[in-house]
Structure 1
Amino acid sequence: MTDRASPNLPSRDFDGTARFYGALGFVPAYRDEGWMILERGALVLEFFPHPELDPAASWFSCCLRLDDVDAFHAACRAAGVPEQAHGFPRLHAPRPQPWGGRMGALLDPDGTLLRFIQN
Structure 2
Amino acid sequence: MADHATPNLPSRQFLKTERFYSKLGFSASYRSGHWLILQNGGMTLEFFPWPDLDPAQNNHSCCLRLDDLDAMVEKIRAAGVPEAREGIPRLVPPQMDISGLTIAYLIDPDGTLLRLVQNPPNR
Please report the TM-score for the alignment, with normalisation by the length of structure 2. 0.94
Structure-1 residue corresponding to 2:17: 17
Write the letter of the residue equivalent to 2:63: C
Partner of 1:92, secondary structure, is: strand
| 1:77 has 2:77 as partner | yes
Instruction: Give the aligned length.
Output: 119
Q: 1: CA distance between counterparts of 2:69 and 2:5?
A: 19
Partner of 1:65, secondary structure, is: strand
Structure 2 unaligned residues grouped into runs of 5+ = none
Structure-1 residue corresponding to 2:92: 92
Structure 1 unaligned residues grouped into runs of 5+ = none
Q: 2: CA distance between counterparts of 1:65 and 1:33?
A: 29
Partner of 1:98, secondary structure, is: coil
Q: 2: CA distance between counterparts of 1:5 and 1:16?
A: 24
| 1:43 has 2:43 as partner | yes
Q: 2: CA distance between counterparts of 1:23 and 1:89?
A: 13
The offset of 1:84, in angstroms, is 1.0
The offset of 1:64, in angstroms, is 0.4
Partner of 2:116, secondary structure, is: strand
Identity %: 56
Partner of 2:17, secondary structure, is: helix
Q: 1: CA distance between counterparts of 2:88 and 2:41?
A: 25
Partner of 2:52, secondary structure, is: coil
Partner of 1:17, secondary structure, is: helix
Q: 2: CA distance between counterparts of 1:88 and 1:28?
A: 23
Write the letter of the residue equivalent to 1:59: N
The offset of 1:99, in angstroms, is 1.2
Q: 2: CA distance between counterparts of 1:118 and 1:58?
A: 24
Q: 1: CA distance between counterparts of 2:2 and 2:116?
A: 20
Q: 2: CA distance between counterparts of 1:4 and 1:94?
A: 26
Partner of 1:73, secondary structure, is: helix
Q: Give me the CA root mean square deviation.
A: 0.7
Partner of 1:30, secondary structure, is: strand
Structure-2 residue corresponding to 1:64: 64
The offset of 1:3, in angstroms, is 2.3
The offset of 1:68, in angstroms, is 1.1
